[in-house]
Amino acid sequence: MKKVFLFLFFSSFILSCETLTFPDAIYGKIGNSQKHLVKISQDEQLWTELKYDIRNRIYQIIRYYENESDTAFLEYNTNNQVTERKYGKIYVDKYIYQNGKLIQSLSFNLQNPEWNVKLVYRYKNNRIDYANKYMNNNLVSKIQFGYNNNGNVISRKEYGIESTSDIPMKEYNYTYDNKINPFHDLIYCPIDIIQTNNAVTMYHYAIFMSSLPTVYGMNYEYDKDGFPISATRYDTKHPYITLNTYKFIYNQ
């Protein structure tokens, strides 16, 4: 009986390990080739606009606020992966790939050339396992990634190298549906977070926040192809109160 138990235990262990091996993740591809999302409205007002180049790649992300707008400009490599993002008029992110894998990201402030951030990525089972973060070439923190069975990032936690606390300095957490995510929003979501499906709960925490983060939820409606066409956003503590409504508009 004991031998049977051990056999079943190790068999289940092997199967659980196998579920952690995913197909190759394609980092840096932020749109969807099946349908091109062109606009997102928030509360009946234009909120996000996406512009495409002749190769159907998103080269501008325009975010509209109450009395102003901000534009992120994107550049690509021959594999259609984002290699550069310019935003806020002074910030630049560069992304470096090797054999299709994202291996480094570099961030600069054009008004303060001495400030720079570098992330160096390490992989396991075809996904980023962790990243070492350097500021001005000094190792300052480590970022650890967790995934669900579909290979979506469910956690991105950053810990200080010299910290003895188990509490992360920064943290992203998500849960997902099983439908198609049409757009990776680089303004809110780092490029190293894989989101094949749509996030249905999310929160972002940073140690400098004055209060605990709100866990937000999203309820989606989909078209016949499984793409979101509308959504409502709510605080998970008060799920029956709608905070925002969204509509997704695609190029016909």
How do the pLDDT tens digits run along the chain, 252 residues long? 434 333 333 443 343 444 566 877 889 999 999 999 999 999 999 999 999 999 999 999 999 998 899 999 999 999 999 999 999 889 999 999 999 999 999 999 999 988 999 999 999 989 999 999 999 999 999 999 999 999 999 999 999 998 777 889 999 999 999 999 999 999 899 999 999 999 999 999 988 776 778 999 999 999 999 999 999 999 999 999 999 999 999 997
pLDDT at 104 (0 to 100): 98
Give the residue from 187, 195, 197, 188 showing the smallest Cα distance to 74: 187
**Structure tokens, 159:** 């810990």
Enter the pTM of the model: 0.88
215 found inside a domain = yes
Our CA dihedral for 72, 197, 33, 121, rounded to 10 degrees, sits at 60
Q: From residue 250, give the alpha-carbon distance in Å to each of 53, 55, 59, 73, 188.
A: 15, 17, 16, 20, 21
Q: Which helix (H) or strand (E) holds 14?
A: helix 2-18
Judge whether 10 lies within some domain. Answer: no
Q: Is residue 1 domain-resident?
A: no
- 44 is a domain residue: yes
The reported pLDDT for the residue numbered 20 is 61
pLDDT at 14: 41
Euclidean distance between CA atoms 188 and 80, whole angstroms: 21
- Closest by CA to 117, choosing from 100, 93, 97, is 93
Residue 227 belongs to domain with CATH number: 2.40.160
Residue 2 lies in a domain: no
236 Rama sector, left if φ>0, alpha if ψ -120 to 50, beta otherwise:
alpha
d(CA 152, CA 102): 16
φ, ψ of residue 16 in degrees (nearest 5): -65, -35
Domain that holds residue 150: 36-251
| Cβ(245)–Cβ(230) below 8 Å | yes
Q: Is 163 helix (H, G, I), strand (E, B) or coil?
A: coil
Q: How many domains does the chain have?
A: 1
Q: Is residue 54 part of a domain?
A: yes
